A and B are shown apart, each in its own frame.
Chain A
Amino acid sequence: MTGAHQPFSAAVTGLGMVTAAGVGTKATWHAVTHETRPGGVAHHEELADLPCDFMYTADLDTTELLGVATQRLMDRFSQLAVIAAREAVADAGLSPDDWDGSRVAVVIGSAHGGLPFYDQQHAAMLERGARRVSPKLAPLTVVNGAASSVCMDLGAQGPSLGVATACSSGTVALGTAHQLLRAGVCDIAIAGGAESPISRLLIASACRMKAVSTRREDPAAACRPFDAARDGFVVGEGAGLLVLERPEHAAARRAPVRAHLRGYGASSDAFAAVAPDPDGNGIERALRSAMADAGVQAGDIGHVNAHGTSTVMNDLIEATMLERVIGAHPLVTSTKAMTGHTLGAAGGIETALTVLALEEQLVPPTANLDVPDPRLPVQIVREEPRRASFDCAVKTSLGFGGHNAALVLTR
């Protein structure tokens, strides 16, 4: 295929978030921009005695919000997705009563899906026998459970799917939604990520992998992206969903457009099961593809919401790649110290935060960044939010298995 590539700007008309930083978009954004120490991370009973015995959790009563009859048909990652989706759709000024449901797509990323329910049922089988295993194991634990739950809750009847590319799932979900809208198979897409990995099994393994922080004496200081003393990521739960629309659909109903999703690129390292390509060539290809897809140049990009997990390798590889591809001028941040690493939800939450940064012309600081790693050749915002003028921003994500993705957003 050759010839001029015409960019496609999907309109972002709604945001919904449930995070450890806050329940709802407004609460999350306020915490991410104005608090310097995360409040949503704590020791967790489920993780007692593990080298990493803490995680980020969202403070909400899902039973009160959803009701028992609805809640019982979902594991927690799907519950968070439904709550975020309701907020996003209301924020967009849409209502299931007056849209054409067959033109509404749902694309939600998750790395582990209903792992906690899987764990519980496995324990039930070992302790109480096969007849005590729930018949709902498959529908609740599959990674597409969040997407189907949102479809059912909102009456969305267009194409829907779960996306599983580990920690880039949310970003790939948004990119996939961008492509569905561009292809014209839907007018509206509800897309992003959802994760609730409150699982002793998973964290026990992450500890053995030496991927997570072991700063047990001070969990609030454990996730410290780009800091010289960082020692690993800290897992979190959450959901972040965006309402995207074909631009003419948003215009026809005179919907306020919060930002545009204009470019998407994805790539695979084809390198290792866990370790990223040490030269960052994979994420570089994803970012360059996204910039080409959007038709933007390095000089146009004013802000990057980085993957910035707080592992020694990720932050070094990513920052080095960002400088190589875009230069030293963009204001880089990682919001993970406030939300935790929400794995498959991260791309959804962080893209929503990027939309808010564009809208407010305000870059959130990287919390816990006390002493920037001197090897990182980029400008990282810290201590307080930075007001700036920028029309274009980038979101990058890297997933175990070498799944890289990048999005370009514009005002």
Chain B
Amino acid sequence: MNAAEVVNALLVQRFGVSSGDVTDETPLRSLRIDSLALEELRVLIEDQLDIDLEDVPLTSRDTVGQLVAAVDGMVPA
């Protein structure tokens, strides 16, 4: 799975987001991903893709697209 698929699947399965609400432009906080949830999501993405996002700045104001881009930047090509 690529970064977008992993992020989308986690949002739906672990955070109860309905998949129809997820677009690249959707701010995370409008999906009820607050700062606490974002920290959980960060670790789940790390586990799934075996990457380290510890130093990647993320906020709940970021959009789904920005999150995916940040994850993509850490995934070995």
A residues in contact (CB < 8 Å) with B: 67-72, 131-132, 134-136
Contact = CB atoms under 8 A, between A and B. Distances in A.
B16 A72 contact: yes
Interface in B1-29: 13-17
A135 B14 contact: no
Interface of B: 13-17, 32, 36, 39-40, 43, 54
Contacts of A132: 43
Contacts of A72: 14-16
A50 to B, nearest CB: 31
B40 A69 contact: no
B34 to A, nearest CB: 10
A70 B43 contact: no
Contacts of A67: 16
B36 A136 contact: yes
B40 A68 contact: no
Contacts, number: 23
B40 A136 contact: yes
Given A132-B43, A136-B36, A136-B40, A68 B13 contact: yes
A67 B32 CA distance: 13
Contacts of B17: 69
Contacts of B40: 134-136
A68 B32 CA distance: 12
A72 B54 CA distance: 23
Contacts of A71: 16
Nearest to B39: A135
Contacts of B39: 135
B36 A68 contact: no
B36 A69 contact: no
Nearest to A66: B16
B41 to A, nearest CB: 11
Contacts of A135: 36, 39-40
Contact of B32 (A69, A131, A136): A69
18 contacts: A68-B13, A68-B14, A68-B16, A69-B15, A69-B16, A69-B32, A70-B16, A71-B16, A72-B14, A72-B15, A72-B16, A131-B54, A134-B40, A135-B36, A135-B39, A135-B40, A136-B36, A136-B40
A361 B47 CA distance: 58
A136 B15 CA distance: 14
A132 B17 CA distance: 22
Given A135-B39, A135-B40, A68 B54 contact: no
A136 B36 CA distance: 7
A69 B39 CA distance: 15
A71 B32 CA distance: 13
A72 B44 CA distance: 14
A200 to B, nearest CB: 24
Contact of B43 (A68, A69, A131): A131
Interface pairs A-B: 7 shortest CB-CB = A69-B16, A68-B16, A135-B39, A135-B36, A67-B16, A69-B32, A136-B36
Contacts of B32: 69
Nearest to B18: A69
B42 to A, nearest CB: 10
A136 B13 CA distance: 18
Nearest to B54: A131
A134 B43 CA distance: 9
Contacts of A136: 36, 40
